[in-house]
Amino acid sequence: MNKSQVKGALKDVAGKVQEKAGQVVGSKEQQVRGLGKQISGKAEKTYGDAKEVIKDSNKRP
């Protein structure tokens, strides 16, 4: 696991929490910000996943 995967997963979770908090207090703005964090987190995690695949493929003979 690399830094991008970890940071992406954490952003995704933080975004889910922020979205739910926005729902609880009735703030559409917080919900949208939470969704944005989730999208950003998933993109960063996907980037990290791709880096791992490339790294692993370079190790094979």
pLDDT for 27 = 98
pLDDT for 35 = 98
Do residues 14 and 36 make contact, with C-beta atoms less than 8 angstroms apart? no
pLDDT for 59 = 83
Amino acid at 24: V
Tens-place pLDDT, residues 10-60: 999 999 999 999 999 999 999 999 999 999 999 999 999 999 999 999 887
CA dihedral 19, 20, 23, 24 (to 10 degrees): -140
pLDDT for 3 = 97
Counted domains in the chain: 1
Residue 20, domain extent: 3-59
